[in-house]
């Protein structure tokens, strides 16, 4: 996350940096982004960038944290609002995650995150979000953790396919509901 020197900047300067970072990470995969493009667009010295952020990954995580929501935390919130009723939470979650990933200004941030996330990014993200992972495991109450991982794999796969196959909101929701019905009722009842 940004260093204190970033927060010492004027609001206008911070907003400009946010805008450039968001644009950089919304137009191409992280692996194709670089500090050179960012500092050129900001007309600042490379050293200034490193006064604000540890590295490119740090600036990427900052923008993700600022501009997007973690779908895992969203699910845990929906689950809690639905009194830990997994079935009801899954129904509600579909609409909420759809609203999230199809939000105009953030669509491409989610797209590049889901299509190009790798183990290096995952490890870095976990290191900055350690408290989330502890909460996630602690708040799974009576629910089996394996079930959470299973549901997460389904949702991640659908989100990834959504971006690969350029689905509309309606197609995403249709496929989400189909998969959740299979999850709830089993694949033996394919006509669910």
Residue 67: CB partners within 8 Å, gap ≥ 6?
A: 22, 105, 106, 109
Residue 187 pLDDT more than 60? yes
Instruction: Grade residue 81 by pLDDT with cuts at 50, 70 and 90.
Output: very high
Torsion sign over Cα 135, 137, 143, 147 = positive
> Is there a contact between 39 and 46 (Cβ–Cβ < 8 Å)?
yes
What ranges do the domains of the chain cover?
A: 4-66, 68-189
Each residue's pLDDT tens digit, 100-126 = 999 988 999 999 999 999 889 888 878
Q: Which residue has the tokens 């979000």?
A: 129
pTM for this predicted structure: 0.84
Fold of 68-189: Tetracycline Repressor; domain 2 (1.10.357)
User: Could you tell me which residues come within 8 angstroms of residue 47 by beta carbon, excluding any fewer than 6 positions away?
Assistant: none
Higher-confidence residue of 121 and 19: namely: 19
**Mean pLDDT value across residues 80-100:** 92
Q: What is the pLDDT of residues 120-178, one digit of tens each?
A: 988 887 887 765 556 555 555 555 577 777 888 899 999 999 999 999 999 999 999 99
pLDDT per position as a tens digit, 176-185:
999 999 988 8
CATH topology of domain 4-66: Arc Repressor Mutant, subunit A (1.10.10)
């Amino acid at each position: 996350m940004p260093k204190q020197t970033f927060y010492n900047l004027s609001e206008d300067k911070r907003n400009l940096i946010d805008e450039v970072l968001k644009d950089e990470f919304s137009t191409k995969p992280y692996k194709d982004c670089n500090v050179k493009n960012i500092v050129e667009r900001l007309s600042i010295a490379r050293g200034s960038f490193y006064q604000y952020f540890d590295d490119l990954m740090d600036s990427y995580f900052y923008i993700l944290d600022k501009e997007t929501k973690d779908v895992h935390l969203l699910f845990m919130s929906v689950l809690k609002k639905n009194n830990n009723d997994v079935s009801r939470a899954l129904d509600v979650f579909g609409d909420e995650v759809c609203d999230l990933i199809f939000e105009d200004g953030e669509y491409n941030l989610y797209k590049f995150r889901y299509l190009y996330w790798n183990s290096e990014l995952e490890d870095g993200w976990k290191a900055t979000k350690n408290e989330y992972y502890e909460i996630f495991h602690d708040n799974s109450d009576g629910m089996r953790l394996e079930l959470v991982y299973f549901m997460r794999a389904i949702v991640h796969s659908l989100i990834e396919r959504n971006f690969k196959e350029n689905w509309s909101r309606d197609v995403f929701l249709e496929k989400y509901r189909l998969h959740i019905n299979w999850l709830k009722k089993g694949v033996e009842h394919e006509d669910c």
